[in-house]
Structure 1
Amino acid sequence: MTASRPNIVFIVADDLGFADLGCYGGREAEFGPVSPVLDRLAANGLKLTQGYSNSPVCSPTRFAMITGRWQYRLRGAADEPINSRSKGSSTLGLPPEHPTLPSLLQASGYRTALIGKWHLGYPPHFSPLKSGYDEFFGPMSGGVDYFSHCSNTGQHDLYFGEEEQHSEGYLTDLLSRRACEWVQRPSEQPFFLSLHYTAPHWPWETRDDAAIVDDVRANLFHLHGGNIHTYRRMIHHMDEGIGWLVEALRESGQLDNTLIVFTSDNGGERFSDNWPLVGGKMDLTEGGIRVPWIAHWPAVIAPGGVSPQHCLTMDWSATMLDAAGVAADPAHPLDGVSLLGVLRAPSATFRRPLYWRMNHRGQRALRDGDWKYLRVDGHDYLFNLPADERERANHATREPERLAALRADWEAWNATMPPIPDDATVSLGYGAKDMPQR
């Protein structure tokens, strides 16, 4: 621990692929490096190569992220993801009475804000202000147009608190500028900032694309739009905004004792670079769940660290509470595991089995050490990931005993989780359309 409790900034991209950043092997764009700021944060901090999201789709990961617990424990996370049909529902969202990462930090003296995407249920029953955030600026739904700030239904979706906020500008920049202003406000309290971008989620629009604002209302998933050049530029806009935030922290003398964590809510979609992984959003192959993880905290983390530690989104929630010296609610013990020891010593790795389940295509997965058990459409697979990250060499028939042991382990874990409700739905994006057929 440092002499004072750290500030914490939790930055989450939306649908970013594993290799979209330069520091994860991404290629340069025609304008140069795509992610120079994030690359520098990784070089001056810690990069994890075997980090995962709790789900291959958005809102279930966000349930795990905010609670530090398996998302399967909450009814709202059974829908993959929460969508506009959830408006008015009193069940499809994050229960306000459930302890959260921000509410626990808030109760311990932190000031808290969510700037960016919520996607955990709609007012009047659910909202960031009901779950531990002092302040909220952003969209309530999963994806909005970057200029009109309208959801795919054509409804305006940009809020300050629980009131609509009509602001002009490119959404990524609005979020970045608001984050800079918030962290520079004078205060004696440490802060916790969730900066949850919608970038690079569809619709694919750069700062220069204001003329296509009506496009998203005509097509739910912007299927006829976008290209790899636009996609990379969107990541670059986000990276620039993160640079503004880092500079704001530096100018205000807060950077050294601020833990900055960056990741994605799930794997990428059609323009993403997931190499060498296969699959993407909605898919429990590696491309749908392996994501970038960068941690930067000059007071604690030595520069240049790289760790193969296996981890899930909810482990970072546990880590942030640990770094702040805040205990979990005894009635809601954490499922996440603190990685604070890894931040201090990247070589200090430990065994961390990882489990997933999905309504879509009856998917399930378990990673334990080098091995991964996967089921898709009723077919079981066994992969040795260090030897075969592309998940092409199925060892299921060669090592039936290992397969049986991992399957039994998954079944035992699943028995501790609530069953998937019969009325749970799957909202298919084209990430599902692009899933590999096995």
Structure 2
Amino acid sequence: MPTRPNILFILADDLGWADLGVYGQTGFATPHLDRLAAQGVRFTQAYANSAVCSATRFALITGRYQYRLRGGLEEPIARPRDGLGLPPEHPTLPSLLKAAGYDTALIGKWHLGHPPAHGPLRSGYDRFFGNLGGVVDYFTHKPGVGADVPRDLWEGEVPVERSGYYTQILADEAEAYVRGRIDHARPFFLSLHFTAPHWPWEGPQDEAVSRELRDLFHYDGGNLKKYGEIVQSLDAAVGQVLGALDTTGQARDTLVVFTSDNGGERFSKTWPFTGQKTELLEGGLRVPTLLRWPARLQPQVQEQVTISMDWLPTLLAAAGSAPHPDWPSDGENILPVLEGRAPVHARTLYWRYKAQAQRAVRDGDWKYLKINDNAFLFDVAADERERANLRDKHPEVFARLQRQWEDWNAGFLPITDAVFTHGLTPDIQADRYVPERASRVHPGRSN
């Protein structure tokens, strides 16, 4: 029996707050993830570091606010030719665990820069299988449409081909990795980063749809039923990997985390929250989060406010290690709270997002939110829908949080005009990127 836990970190892509049965989904079933929740910790106030994916991934892997790094400002990160990414010299969760004696692997989505300057093998992972960019078609495994578009599927830094639905391919690779770790002397850290349920809107039986796509953004497709198929395939994939832990006798001593990189997109269920991906409303930031560690943690529903960058100090503590002293974490080790050695306590968390000049602070139960020229103060414990603007009723709280955000923001890289346009592809610059949200600037008004 290892003295330190194996660690399996599972990251979904664009999964909404209530997209799992245990969080309120009624349109389809997610039995494997619901079972994981029953066996471990279900968080009720877990946040993503950003309302989009690559920015959160910077925070997750470094344990620091993404705004400390140039690539973390892009939201999403630029195309390969732009040369931005996670600096290889920066300590990361996998590099620190590797130094502590862990075998490290990433299976799935990277989205933190391309070789030769960047890549998983340059930032602490011993093994990588997956896609380097932000999205691929579930069947062609390409980041676009057309015969001339190369596949974005890699084994290390060598392009490879596979046949089949991408979610299932990742599950098979992860299961093989877990089974291959039996009787190894070193514990493992496996990052399993799915692209599901990110668009395009293709379920496991939709290879014909894939062949007919004209645009990977797939704005003319999708519906609630199709979205359910994508999430259910994700649930089955997670169940397959957890089953491998069970049958190999590794489940008790494996710390499993499941979460999402940001809030859900157009077909996600985010009730009772408003907002979705790209918005600093609760629906764009609050994410379903589960943790199981049978050897050390009791099942519980956990009210502690937490955020993506907390996982680096928390998982390092579980492994008997700590963040690099020259790159201290902006996150917090929440293991004492989970073990009952420390009480649930208030947190102060900050966000900014360049689109619509959004900014937000969560301070205890208060939330300051600014979107363009509209500013709000909410009590998110009493008003989860973010409808009752309390800025005039509590002007001193509003002014304090406004000042706090300005003071915090001054310590990070600025979002200049160059940053605002550099990382945006023509598709993302176009209005059609968020057509259904183009006019939503007032969360307290029904549109």
Tell me if structure 1 keeps the 8 A contact 2:51–2:277: yes
Is the aligned partner of 1:391 residue 2:386? yes
Q: Which runs of 5+ in 1 are unaligned?
A: none
Taking a change above 3 Å as real, the CA distance of residues 144 and 3 of structure 1, as seen in their structure-2 partners, is closer
- Name the counterpart of 2:435: 433
Within-5 A mapping of 1:84-95: 86-90=79-83, 92-95=84-87
Q: Distance in 1 between matches of 2:194 and 2:212?
A: 20
Take 2:15 and 2:364, find their aligned partners in 1: how far apart are those partners? Answer: 25
Gaps of 5+ in 2: 443-447
Task: Write out aligned runs for 1:34-433 (5 A).
Answer: 35-83=30-78, 86-90=79-83, 92-152=84-144, 154-185=149-180, 186=182, 187-216=184-213, 218-303=214-299, 305-345=300-340, 348-424=343-419, 425=421, 427=424, 428=428, 432-433=434-435
SS in 1 for 2:238: helix
| C-alpha displacement of 1:229 | 0.8
Check whether the contact 1:88–1:124 (CA below 8 A) recurs between aligned residues.
no
Give, in whole Å, the separation in 1 of the partners of 2:44 and 2:104. Answer: 29
Root mean square deviation of aligned Cα:
1.6
How far does the alpha carbon of each residue in 1:189-220 deviate from its partner, in whole angstroms, 9 at most, with x for none? 0000000000000001111000122344x224
Aligned-pair CA distance for 1:101: 0.2
TM-score by length of 2: 0.93
**Distance in 1 (alpha carbons) for counterparts of 2:20 and 2:351:** 25
CA deviation after TM superposition for structure 1 residue 343, in Å: 2.1
| Alpha-carbon distance change, 263 to 222 in structure 1, aligned in 2, over 3 angstroms | same
Which stretch of structure 1 is more off in the superposition, 183-192 or 288-297?
A: 183-192
Contact 2:276 2:283 in 1 (8 A): yes
Q: Under a length normalisation based on structure 1, what TM-score does the superposition of the two structures give?
A: 0.95
- Comparing 95-104 with 410-419, greater Cα deviation is found at 410-419
Cα distance in structure 2, aligned partners of 1:114 and 1:432: 30
In the alignment, what sits opposite 2:21?
A: 22
Q: CA contact under 8 A between 1:266 and 1:281: conserved in structure 2?
A: yes
* Alignment: residue pair count: 428
Counterpart of 2:209 in structure 1: which amino acid?
I
Contact 1:78/1:421, CA 8 A, preserved across alignment:
no
C-alpha separation in 1, matches of 2:132 and 2:45: 30
Shift in Å, 1:348: 2.5
State the alpha-carbon separation in 2 of the partners of residues 329 and 347 from structure 1. 24
- In the alignment, the residues of structure 2 paired with residue 422 and residue 160 of structure 1 have an alpha-carbon distance, to the nearest angstrom, of 37
Give the whole-Å Cα distance in 2 for the aligned partners of 1:46 and 1:360: 34
TM superposition shift of 1:367: 0.4
d(CA) in 1 for partners of 2:23, 2:232: 15
Q: What do residues 133-184 of structure 1 show as CA deviations (whole Å, max 9, x unaligned)? A: 0111111111110000010253311111111110111100000010010011
Cα deviations by residue, 1:72-105 (Å, 9 ceiling, x for unpaired): 000001111014xx21333x10011111000000
Determine what percentage of the aligned residue pairs are the same residue: 51
Please, which moves more after superposition, 305-314 or 337-346? Answer: 337-346
Q: Distance in 2 between matches of 1:408 and 1:393?
A: 21
Structure 1's 228 and 346: CA in aligned 2 closer, same or farther, altered over 3 A?
farther
Moved more, 279-288 or 417-426: 417-426
1:396 offset after TM fit, Å?
1.0
Aligned residues of 1:88 and 1:123 also touching (Cα < 8 A): no
Within 2, Cα distance between the matches of 1:3 and 1:248?
Answer: 17
In 1: Cα distance, 2:405 partner to 2:266 partner: 30
Which secondary structure state, in structure 2, belongs to the residue aligned with residue 280 of structure 1? coil
**Alpha-carbon distance between aligned partners in 1 of 2:232 and 2:120, rounded to the nearest angstrom:** 27
